[in-house]
Amino acid sequence: MTVWQELDKDGFEQFIWCRDQESGLRAFIAIHNTKRGPALGGCRLWPYASEEDAVADAMRLARSMTYKAAAAGLAYGGGKAVVIGRADDPRNEQQFEALGRFIERLGGSYWTGVDVGTTTAHMDAVARFTSYVTDMTGSLGGTDDWTADMTAYGLLHGMKATAKRIYGTDRLHGLTIAVQGLGKVGWALCRYLHREGARLMVTDLSMRLVEQAVLQFQALPIAADRIYDVPCHIWAPCALGGILNLSTIDRLQCRIVAGSANNQMASPQQLHLEALQQKGIVYAPDYIVNAGGIIATAAELDGDGPRRIRSRVKRIAHTLEEVYHLSEAEGITTAAAADRIAEHALHSYE
């Protein structure tokens, strides 16, 4: 299938190839859907091996932003920008200024922000040429780790809603929670969970982060390759995607999987979703439970202050309850229920 056929099949509205000779910028902007409002989705900076890889990533990410925003009830659509390059390229500033000029030409149908590989400094460069940008210096999203903190806050409330369903109470006090990955989101999550009185088991590739978590949260350190085997109430993947396959699912000893990582199931997804379900493990769909960051960004664009933003992020719990209800009523996986809710929000929007 050609890239054009794929764009057509997935219902993309616009796909732009951005090339700036002077700065060496090579980027793509994918606008998947703007039915609910302007496309929102950060800009990834990555040394893609080929243009095809960058196109595929932009398409996958933009499409999932549409679903994430729609399921969260936001008046925004889904898009993504990917820049082929490296964060240590001395031409970064000029490249992101050039990207700002391309985004400006789109007239507000796409808003960018920080994603993997980009920082507030990149967004400051974009902002010199367009106002359709978030996460610059001076914005809430430009504050260190604020988006990750909101993602963790949403995840906390998603865990509470799921615990209520399984254990009859949303109190996490005394529950054992295994956290894979102590980066920006995983760390903030541990801070919230520790305050709630949860018992933490943690792992990361960085021993420094694990040691810090042991000191700060009295967490139990677990070797990275053993985290799948620990008996716990909730298993929280907050590192990379694609970690749940038949062999890792077989090792899990939990009742709930709820984490921030995107695309947690290895391919084919359906097989692994069903394997989890057969084991009696409730899966909190990733794009529902990790939507705190985008909800917060949208709320900031809508002019909300920090208090109102938190209360909007907290509503992730209600969305999840809807997902579980639909999944039970229709006998479908929680991921399929999430897709139905997102698609309904997309198609019924006037």
When CB distances to ligand NAD are compared, the closest residue is 183
Name the residue nearer to ligand NAD (CB basis): 106 or 335. Answer: 335
Among 80, 160, 279, 314, which one carries the catalytic annotation? Answer: 80
Footprint of ligand NAD on 211-230 (CB under 6 A): 224
**80 classed as catalytic:** yes
239 is a contact residue toward ligand NAD (CB under 6 A):
yes
User: Which residue bears the tokens 């992730």?
Assistant: 316
CB of 347 to ligand NAD, least distance (A): 25
**Under rule CB under 6 A, residue 151 binds ligand NAD:** yes
Position 204 contacts ligand NAD (CB under 6 A): yes
When asked if residue 95 is in the footprint of ligand NAD (CB under 6 A), the reply is no
Of 115 and 124, the one with the shorter C-beta distance to ligand NAD is 115
CB of 263 to ligand NAD, least distance (A): 8
**Residue nearer to ligand NAD on the CB measure, 205 or 271:** 205
- Report 175-194 residues binding ligand NAD (CB under 6 A): 180-186
Q: Given the complex with ligand NAD, which of 106 and 181 has the nearer CB atom?
A: 181
Compose the 285-304 pattern: x for residues touching ligand NAD by CB under 6 A, - for all others: -----x--x-----------
Task: Tell me if 203 contacts ligand NAD by CB under 6 A.
Answer: yes
Residues of each annotated binding site for NAD(+): 181-186
8 A C-beta contact, residue 227 and residue 203:
yes
In the chain, what's the furthest Cα-to-Cα distance? 61
Give the contact letters, 128-147, x = binds to ligand NAD (CB under 6 A), - = no. -------------------x
- Residues of this chain that interact with ligand NAD (CB under 6 A) are 147-148, 151, 180-186, 203-206, 209, 224, 238-241, 260-262, 290, 293
